[in-house]
Amino acid sequence: MTAPLPPVIVGAGPAGIRAAERLVAAGLRPVVIDEAARWGGQIYRQPPDGGFTRPKKALYGFEVGKADAVHRAMAAIRDRVDYRPRTLAWNCEAGAIDLLCEGVSATLPFSHLILATGATDRVLPFPGWTLPGVFTLGGSQVALKFQGCAVGRRVAFLGTGPLLYLVAYQYLKAGVELAGVFDTTPFVVQARATAGMLRDPATLAKGLLFVAMLRAHGVPVRNGIRPVRAAGTERVEALVWHDAGGREHRTPCDAVAFGLGLRSETQLADLAGCRFRFDAADRAWLPERDAAGRSSVAGVYLAGDGSGIAGADAAELAGERVALALLEDLGEVVDAARMRELDRRLSGIAAFRRTLDAAFPFPDDWADSIADDTMICRCEGVTAGVLRDVARNGQARELNRAKALTRTGMGRCQGRMCGATTAELLSRALGTGPDGVGRLRAQPPIKPLPIATVIPSPRGEEGSAGREVA
């Protein structure tokens, strides 16, 4: 079978790998773009080559089987894939994406593009969150998996979501002292949600085991808390928090790992021209996709957490599903039974996702509690008060305007980190729902682009500056 151009997959996590595997099985040779040095994505991130001796079981815990299967899947097709590690896709225009690898930029034309761009932590600030020693949950996990180190000697875990307990458990297993797990969800809410979690007994059992293990090791697990501040002068010395009754506590620690679930990386989909819709469960604008993963732009497909948070298992299924859709669009005869099976399992996960949301609800009062002098955009040094001012005096009724007037989201991260905060604060200040303030428009480059290293060859020559490199 021939496609006009090799399909391009951005992302080599569970979604990207399963998509590649399916395309290879159909006789295609996809290009797989991976920002990391080794495939696996964030959830199944592999340690760097050489000298890293922790066994997979220690790195991935209960997920070792899945991690290993995903790693092996990619290894098995390695020779039949144009795999490009350490490569950033920094821009997308109609029919071509721009890549940066080893300091050289190249434009890669595509007819079919699968975006499996994954997610990062969703964070909301609290006083002291910019102190050295405060990390995101995902960042803390990367430190453990990729760098073989912990973010501190005595770590406090804060926030909500499955990652809160997973990372805490992984730190416990790694022998790190835990100052406590501080969950923003009230205990009764979690207990009530437990019944629904029986849909997926394995996940429920895992979650209960995490908590049991933490308690068995004497780790305090607190529910219904709100952070007061990360205290310290040079770096974090303690987490100060309110319990459900409003009493203040101080827990000494030298690091805080926090997060409130995940947020999808959607900039490439935006630059590719995909239409977006507001997703209430994710409290975010997401690229529209049909059940198979087709976006609103012909030839552009979406899979995995980059198009909506559903987790690693769903990402694997969605990756395969979207590859089948792509093959179908190419006129290939595809396995209809397999498609139905994938659809069935994906909708089962979606149902379970609703249960998880009930167990780990987003603390939508958190934004109100952010003091005016708390930094919300650390690149540009913008405080909550500055943002609230432009909202309350009528100058900004949507996110891009707020960005223009206050600089929030204008720095190196381009809103990838502070965007969620800005949306929450702005919508609360304006009294709209989280969907009422629009979304930040993506602008290239989606991550900082080095000036010096970007030009592949002197201008004026064939194949120079940004010409297609197949």
Measured from the CB of residue 445, what is the shortest distance to other proteins in angstroms? Answer: 6
Q: Which is nearer to other proteins, 150 or 269 (CB)?
A: 269
Query: Any contact of residue 86 with other proteins (CB under 8 A)?
Result: no
Contact flag: residue 452 with other proteins (CB under 8 A): yes
Question: Could you say which DSSP state residue 40 is in?
Answer: S
Q: CB-based contacts of 398: which residues, under 8 Å, 6+ apart? A: 426, 437, 438
CA 446 vs. chain centroid, Å, equals: 15
Nearest approach, Cβ of 444 to other proteins (angstroms)?
Answer: 5
Fill in the amino acid letter for 381: G
| From 38-46, 88-96, 145-153, 327-335, span contacting other proteins (CB under 8 A) | 88-96
Q: Return the number of the residue (94 or 212) whose C-beta is nearest other proteins.
A: 94
Least distance from C-beta 422 to other proteins, angstroms? 16
Residue number with CB closer to other proteins (247 or 459): 459
Contact status, residue 367 vs residue 391, Cβ threshold 8 Å: no
Between CA 125 and CA 375 the distance in angstroms is 7
The single residue among 34, 98, 121, 320 that binds other proteins, judged by CB under 8 A, is 98
The reply to whether 455 sits near other proteins by the rule CB under 8 A is yes
In the complex with other proteins, which residue's Cβ is closer, 5 or 410?
410
Contact status: 130 vs other proteins (CB under 8 A): no
Candidates 58-66, 137-145, 180-188, 450-458: pick the segment binding other proteins (CB under 8 A): 450-458
- With respect to other proteins, which residue has the nearer C-beta, 147 or 457? 457
Could you report how far apart the first and last alpha carbons of the chain are, in Å?
19
404 scored as a contact of other proteins (CB under 8 A): yes
Q: Contact at 8 Å (CB) between 228 and 241?
A: yes
Binders in 15-44 for other proteins, by CB under 8 A = none
Using the minimum distance from each CB to other proteins, give the nearer residue, 211 or 390: 390
- Span 299-358, contacts to other proteins by CB under 8 A: none
- Judged by CB, which is closer to other proteins: 59, or 442? 442
Structure tokens at 188: 């009764």
Residue 109 interacts with other proteins (CB under 8 A): yes or no = no
Contacts of 190 (CB under 8 A, 6+ apart): 183, 223, 359, 360
Distance, C-alpha 253 to centroid of its chain: 26
CB of 288 to other proteins, least distance (A): 18
Residue 273 has a CB neighbour count (10 Å cut-off) of 14
Candidate list 105, 266, 267, 295; residue touching other proteins; CB under 8 A: 105
- Decide: residue 17, CB within 10 A, 0-12 exposed, 13-18 middle, 19+ buried: buried
Q: What residues contact 326, with CB distance under 8 A and at least 6 apart?
A: 7, 19, 23, 112, 114, 301
Q: Is 266 in the site for other proteins (CB under 8 A)?
A: no
Provide, rounded to whole angstroms, the least separation between the CB of residue 443 and other proteins. Answer: 5
Q: Which two tokens stand for residue 62?
A: 């209960």
Among positions 48, 252, 450, 463, the unique one binding other proteins when judged by CB under 8 A: 450
Tell the smallest beta-carbon distance from residue 33 to other proteins (Å). 16
* Residues of span 379-398 touching other proteins by CB under 8 A: 395
Q: Give the residue, chosen from 240, 332, 401, 432, that forms a contact with other proteins under the rule CB under 8 A.
A: 401
Which part of the chain contacts other proteins (CB under 8 A), choosing from 68-76, 119-127, 143-151, 410-418? 410-418
Asked if 298 interacts with other proteins (CB under 8 A), we say no
Q: How many Cα neighbours within 13 Å face the side chain of 120?
A: 15
As a whole number of angstroms, the distance between CA 187 and CA 468 comes to: 56
Residue 449 C-beta: closest distance to other proteins, Å: 5
61 binds other proteins (CB under 8 A): no
- Determine phi and psi for 338, rounding to 5 degrees: -65, -40
Alpha helix (H) residue ranges in 293-418: 312-329, 336-359, 366-369, 384-392, 399-406
Number of residues in contact with other proteins under rule CB under 8 A: 29
What is the spatial distance between Cα 166 and Cα 54, in angstroms, rounded to a whole number? 18
DSSP string, 75-93: HHHGGGSEEE-SEEEEEEE
β-sheet with 96-101: strand ranges across: 87-93, 96-101, 104-109
Q: Looking at 198, 280, 412, 470, which residue binds other proteins (CB under 8 A)?
A: 412
Q: In angstroms, what is the C-alpha Rg of the chain?
A: 22
Is 444 one of the binding residues for other proteins (CB under 8 A)?
yes
Q: Which of residues 57 and 86 has its CB atom nearest to other proteins in the complex? A: 86
Cα-Cα-Cα-Cα dihedral of 426, 428, 432, 438, to 10°?
Answer: 30
Per CB under 8 A, the segment of 40-48, 90-98, 132-140, 322-330 that binds other proteins is 90-98
Q: Which is nearer to other proteins, 31 or 156 (CB)?
A: 31
| Dihedrals phi, psi of 163, to nearest 5 degrees | -65, -30
Residues near other proteins (CB under 8 A) are 91, 93, 96, 98, 105, 107, 271, 273, 395, 401, 404-405, 410-412, 414, 443-445, 448-452, 454-455, 459, 465-466
